[in-house]
Amino acid sequence: MNSQNIKFTAFDLEPEILEAINQKGFEQPTEIQLKTLTQALNSSEHIVGKAQTGTGKTAAFGLPILNALDPKIKTTKSLILCPTRELAVQVTEELNSLKGAKKLFATAVYGGQSYEQQLRRLKHGDQIIVGTPGRVVDHIKRGTLKLHELDFFVLDEADEMLNMGFMEELDFILDQVPETSQKFFFSATMPKRIEKLVQKYIPSYKLIEVASTSKVTSLSKQQFLEVNEGQKFDALCMLIDRAEKFYGIVFCRTKVEVDGLTLKLNKRGYQSDCIHGDIAQRGREKVLAKFKKQEINILVATDVAARGIDVEDLNYVINYHLPEDAESYVHRVGRTGRAGKSGFAITLVSGAEYRRLEMIKRVNKLEMEEIKPPKKSDMQDFYIEKICKELEHSNSKGKFYEKLYDRVLEEFEPGELILKLLSRSFKDFNIFEFEPINKNASSGRRGLGGFRGKRHGGDRRSGGGSRFKGKRNDRDRNSNGKFNKNKKRRK
């Protein structure tokens, strides 16, 4: 089937939903949407979908669910599990926009959000619940979320769910899901752990796979720049300054690195903010709101933001540090080059990271263009031109400036004065010569030599104990999916 020849109007979708799709400006389904709609609207067979981030999976499973649900029935009829809070919020917003005037309600439940607010929506009888595993388990155990009338169950980003160590939560939840409910399992990759999960709960299903030629990373231009670790910050500033209009996410490895880089960017005069696992949910939502409104144009983040952030017109993703695995690279760069729009995914690679970059390229079958670093003289010419243009548009009117002008000319010679003012204004400025990296350097990080392109969530437990039995939920997880050791178990 060729999606270019088929429009949404060809499907048996309710008028309210078709109107909502039209209002969003969509005419033709993506490949995963076309294949899923064709199957799900005509059959109750379980579906396993393999497709990359950014290919339209939410509408693929969301439209059949919204089309089938009866607004008059006020109880939980659909449960959608997401690995992160951000993705849960994004999926909820997308479903509420796709339902149009149809009187259905989708609600997100996740750790860090008020229980009172969630209980109010659950009592209201919202038909679609989108949640993270920890909080969903909490509600099931409290008796505030009942699944016995569930018609649809969706497991979104299944590979990331297992990478974050949610296997026991998934087993608990799936054991509560009625056998009669239609199940959708979506994943960007299909490692053996996903195959085992599928065979355990839906041995009979329809496999829908998007061809590798539709891989989301092909929509963004993949580039890398070799740079020593100590020169990364200045290289990042150069990339931002040379962009015609930079609007993007910069990924770091740790929360400490995110905080430090954000501070340095703001000190240099850029409009940036950050999100990571130690920032309260309300704070993260405020930062994302500012970013979406383009009140800031740079968002610095850990991999907590790699999934679940859908921002229009995002044109850059910068890997300030490489991710821990090949799959996370795909999810990072999938933030740009979405919905057919072009973008740039640029990786700053140091000598200690070079071998990992080669493995990421091999595992993901990527062709990456090397950015040739500019010479110091070229950078000097670029910044001189840039500063002169900024001075042309600066406001120099007013009595204060006139008095200051008269006073400083009494104190200094014009040439000396200009040099002093420029050096004072750009004291943190650094134009450097790019130095060649040592490609044989060792990162000193565990697992580099044995890198396999994936992580195993089961390896995250310590002492063989069960994290699930301690009743911790996703509020206790840091940006890497691990539990914060300083948090106490709840009795």
Residues 10-33 pLDDT 10s = 999 999 999 999 887 777 888 899
| 333 SS3 class | helix
Question: Phi, psi (5° rounding) for residue 4?
Answer: -70, -20
Domain count, the chain: 2
Is 405 domain-assigned? no
Residues 230, 209 share a domain: no
pLDDT in tens, 433-472: 777 778 766 554 433 333 334 433 333 333 333 344 444 4
Domain boundary among 188, 214, 240: 214
pLDDT band at 170, cuts 50/70/90? very high
Amino acid 404: pLDDT: 75
Q: Which of 116, 81, 485 is CA-nearest to residue 307? A: 81
Q: How far apart are CA 210 and CA 52, in angstroms?
A: 8
DSSP codes, 337-385? S-TT--EEEEEEE-GGGHHHHHHHHHHHT---EEPPPPPHHHHHHHHHH
Q: Which stretch, 5-14, 148-157, 212-221, 424-433, has highest mean pLDDT?
A: 148-157
Exposed / middle / buried, residue 191 (Cβ in 10 Å: 0-12, 13-18, 19+): middle
Q: How far apart are CA 261 and CA 371, in angstroms?
A: 22
What mean pLDDT is predicted for residues 89-98?
Answer: 91
Pairing status of strand 182-187 against strand 47-50: parallel
Contact call for residues 351 and 380 (beta carbons, < 8 A):
no
Average pLDDT, the chain: 81
Residues 183, 89 share a domain: yes
Is 410 domain-assigned? no
Amino acid 35: pLDDT: 93
Contact call for residues 319 and 235 (beta carbons, < 8 A):
no
Domain that holds residue 351: 216-370
Q: Which amino acid is at 384?
A: I
Domain boundary among 166, 184, 214: 214
Residues 279, 204 share a domain: no
Residues 298, 170 share a domain: no
pLDDT in tens, 370-392: 998 888 788 788 877 877 777 76
Q: How far apart are CA 262 and CA 288, in angstroms?
A: 15
Is 81 domain-assigned? yes
User: Edge-to-edge strands of the sheet including 182-187?
Assistant: 106-109, 128-131, 78-81, 152-155, 182-187, 47-50, 206-209
Residues 341, 292 share a domain: yes
Pairing status of strand 248-251 against strand 182-187: unpaired
Residues 174, 149 share a domain: yes
Q: How far apart are CA 249 and CA 292, in angstroms?
A: 12
Residues 301, 188 share a domain: no
Domain boundary among 355, 370, 385: 370
Residues 314, 264 share a domain: yes
Exposed / middle / buried, residue 206 (Cβ in 10 Å: 0-12, 13-18, 19+): middle
pTM of the model: 0.58
Residues 187, 69 share a domain: yes
CATH of residue 67's domain is 3.40.50.300
Residues 343, 312 share a domain: yes
Q: How far apart are CA 262 and CA 271, in angstroms?
A: 9
